[in-house]
Chains A and B, each alone.
Chain A
Amino acid sequence: MPDTLAQEEIDIFDDAAGTDPAALFGVAYRTFAGPVLGYLKARGVDDPEAVTQDVFLAFFPKISGLSGGLQGAKSLLFSIAHARMVDHYRRLERRPQLTPYDPLEDSRSTPSAEDHAVELNGAAEALLEGLSGEHQEVLALRVVADLSIEQVAGIMGKSEGAIKQLQRRALHNLKAQTLKRNQANHE
């Protein structure tokens, strides 16, 4: 987590050239594995844990040529994660449409207390549902991944002005969605 990141771990990225790549990789994993996983979860990627491992495996060979310190590593990691996410949705388009199994509609089971506890997480993942793909992406990158507008612009291949506009619209849409959801819950 960035909050608990020690200063020495930040410093290690500043002179990445002479440092052992394995040590850098360990620091990068401890620092960014959580946000990467959260990002992939928020974007609804199948098996986000496995894709997170995959992202870090793809990141490892690029450590030696890394520049920009910790922020550079973060940008690179989320670029890879973004590419994986895009790949996931492309693959999904080509795949035959499947009806997901919804346990709520299965009358043979009763909701358990464990499900109820996990539901919070599931609700968080479903928060971005109903937004367009770009809106989901910009919110996931800005909020979950905690990237700057500049970095988000680089990853999404847009200008900074476009990202600002996009996040503004996304937040307004999210607010409308939340209001709708709250009303539905109250009824």
Chain B
Amino acid sequence: MSDTAGPRRDGAVDQLLLEAELGGDSQLRPVLLELQALGTVAPEPSAELLALMAGTNVSGAVASRAAATASVPAVEASPAAHDELAARRRAKRRITLTTFSVAVSLGAGGAVAAASDQGFRESFTQLNHAVTSFITGSAGAPAGDQARQPVTPVPTVPGTVPAGTAPGDPASIPADPAAAAHPTATPPSVPPAAAETAGQQTSPGRPGEVPASETLPGAVPGQIANGLGKPAEVPVPSQVPLPGTLPAVPLP
């Protein structure tokens, strides 16, 4: 049988054997050539195929038109009727798509159910709070001051920004806004005020806020006294009761 195969096809078999690292295999080669010889006999075309092939070869356009109209509908119907492999491949793709969409919708449903739960939402809000407080807490003091200060008149801004960064020092705060608001009048008044506050802080018996509030409204406008009152109040009560109470405790 292998005699019928041409030299080109022999070469194909040899190449196949070489590809499989079986080149020169004397047992496999005749088997493959025999197998290959299966494809050498062409069947007789059926009447339907002959009609399709005869199209223009025999009698021209009319015959071809007739053949085409006669056979093409049948031809087009037949692949649709039993091309099962294509349909199965489509179905397989559809199954994948369905699985994916079901998984996505389940995930979405689970997420909605979890989000509608009160405890989950609360914990989420708490987390949100914690995060925001952490973020605003680290930069809270300067941010709060800067947010509040621009509301006050513009000339005070350059003076108050460095003052705000050091709220613990009471002497620097009256000095800077006063210098910004009244450049000519306040320089002489600042050293006495600073000296007074320094002297009041050293004396433990007297509260610091009273003289501070007395001197400041006179020298500075209301909105600066507002900013000044806070830093003045914060250190003075903390310093004033401590010397008074601490000796009182160990003595008795």
Contacts and interface: CB of A to CB of B under 8 A. Distances in A.
A121 B12 CA distance: 21
Contacts of A124: 1, 34-35, 37-38
Contacts of B83: 58, 83, 87
B139 interface: no
Contacts of A30: 42
B43 A57 contact: no
Interface string B1-45: 100001011001100110111100101100110111111111101
Nearest to A20: B56
B86 to A, nearest CB: 7
Contacts of B195: none
Contacts of A86: 84-85
Which applies to chain B's interface (DSSP): helix, strand, loop or mixed? Answer: helix
Contacts of A36: 39
B28 A175 contact: yes
A35 B19 contact: no
Contacts of A128: 35
Contacts of A49: 43
B55 A22 contact: yes
B22 A171 contact: yes
B53 A175 contact: no
Interface string B60-87: 0000100100011011101100111110
B6 to A, nearest CB: 4
B57 interface: yes
A105 B52 CA distance: 44
Contacts, number: 161
A26 to B, nearest CB: 4
Contacts of B49: 29, 53, 56-57
Given A38-B40, A53-B43, A3 B22 contact: no
B169 interface: no
B85 A33 contact: no
Given A53-B49, A57-B49, A34 B39 contact: yes
B54 interface: yes
A37 B76 CA distance: 22
A146 B45 contact: no
A33 B35 contact: no
Contacts of B79: 58, 61, 80
B174 to A, nearest CB: 83
B46 interface: yes
A21 interface: yes
B48 interface: yes
A29 B74 CA distance: 18
Interface string A139-154: 1101111100000000
Interface string A33-46: 11111110110000
Interface in A52-73: 52-54, 56-58, 60-61
A179 B20 contact: no
Contacts of A168: 19-21
Nearest to B4: A1
Nearest to B40: A34
Contacts of A139: 32, 35
B33 to A, nearest CB: 9
A-B CB proximity, top 9 nearest: A22-B55, A38-B39, A38-B38, A3-B6, A35-B39, A34-B42, A83-B85, A26-B53, A33-B42
Given A57-B78, A83-B84, A146-B9, 12 more contacts: A20-B56, A34-B41, A38-B37, A61-B79, A120-B1, A124-B35, A127-B35, A128-B35, A144-B38, A174-B28, A175-B22, A175-B28
19 contacts: A23-B55, A38-B36, A42-B38, A57-B75, A60-B75, A80-B79, A86-B85, A124-B37, A124-B38, A125-B38, A127-B34, A143-B35, A144-B35, A164-B19, A167-B16, A167-B19, A167-B20, A171-B16, A179-B27
Interface of B: 1, 6, 8-9, 12-13, 16-17, 19-22, 25, 27-28, 31-32, 34-43, 45-46, 48-49, 52-57, 64, 67, 71-72, 74-76, 78-79, 82-86, 88
